[in-house]
Amino acid sequence: MVALAVASLFVGVAKISLIDFLDGTVSQTDWLVLQTSRIPRTLALVFAGTSMAVAGAIMQMLARNKFVEPATTGTVEAAALGMLVVLLFAPDLPVVGKMLVAGVFAIAGTGLFLWLLTKIPLRSVVIVPLVGMMLGGVISSFAAFIAYRFDMMQAMNVWTSGDFSTVLRGRYEVLWLAFGLAIIAYRGADKLTMAGLGQEFSVSLGLDYRKVMTFGLVIISLVTASVVVSAGMIPFVGLIVPNLVSIAFGDNLKKTLPWIALFGAAIVLVCDIVGRLIIAPFEVPVGAVLGVIGSLFFLYLVLGRNAYAR
């Protein structure tokens, strides 16, 4: 991950030499590019990958299903709807305020998803993400209708593209909050793991199930909102990484969350570097690259669902 982060600093349209940087002979212009764009972008990629992977792991525990993550449960779409509402009624709201409003909408969307799971007879683990995708589609369609009526389709597309090319110093700092939430999630990892065993079993062990569910729900929603506000939708990170780490290390979040955070950052860095190189000097948004990889991985999980079913 460290090697990828270093590579991210020196890949792009502006040719900055690592050797010149190590020798201390970097030009003033190149140093300005590093400070203003490359370093903030790399930090944003690391924070977004880390926090979204952790949020995906928590979501899988709360839903007790390996096929879900914020992008397949309506959470991201609800956060984007919140951003649209902010832009309509309070466009001058500070970034933190926009994130909080989007977080409230994300909490509502995730809560609605979890409530729907209690009302639908589940015959297969695959039905759970399908319910989430349908819910996300309904929310996204409602948001698109509003955006079309108020001529805001272009702004809405920005929130759903997952593009870090516009990340600059002063425009990504809210992601520090997402990173902090991932650390807080680690402190509550044991309780989240117990909640993933089911309500009856966790309550019998003395766990306050509703409190832990609310704790996880808030972390998932605020992380998703902060990433959507900063860079847009980052799909499938919370699906790919927790499943790969779970295969290797099991489902104890206290043990796996550091690895999930590490590999989450790494996969987002890889996809962003690939997006910068594949049609250079133009860029493919990291969300598009992750969408291709994530959809293939999702199909792999579906085809091998018996190995991952709880």
Task: For residue 74, name the pLDDT band (cuts at 50, 70, 90).
Answer: confident
Which stretch of DSSP H or E encloses residue 131? Answer: helix 127-149
pLDDT, one tens digit per residue, over 108-130 is: 998 898 888 887 776 566 788 88
> What's the pTM value of the predicted model, to 2 decimals?
0.88
pLDDT, one tens digit per residue, over 182-191 is: 999 988 888 8
> 52-82 in b/e burial notation, b at 16+ Cβ within 10 A?
bbbbbbbbbbbbbbbbbbbbbbbbbbbbbbb
pLDDT of amino acid 258 = 92
Amino acid, res. 302 = V
- What's the average model confidence in pLDDT over 205-215? 85
For 110, phi then psi, to 5°, come to: -70, -40
CATH superfamily of 44-305: ABC transporter involved in vitamin B12 uptake, BtuC (1.10.3470.10)
Half-sphere exposure of 55 (CA within 13 A, CB side): 36
pLDDT of amino acid 191 = 87
Cα–Cα distance measured from residue 224 to residue 139, given in angstroms and rounded to the nearest whole number: 15
Pair 73, 132: CB distance under 8 Å: yes
pLDDT, one tens digit per residue, over 2-58 is: 899 988 888 888 787 777 677 777 778 878 888 888 899 999 999 999 999 999 999
Amino acid, res. 268 = V
- In the predicted structure, residue 310 carries a pLDDT above the cut 50: no
For 66, phi then psi, to 5°, come to: -80, -5
- For residue 158, how far is the Cα from the chain centroid? 15
pLDDT of amino acid 123 = 56
Per-domain residue ranges of the chain: 44-305
Pair 229, 83: CB distance under 8 Å: yes
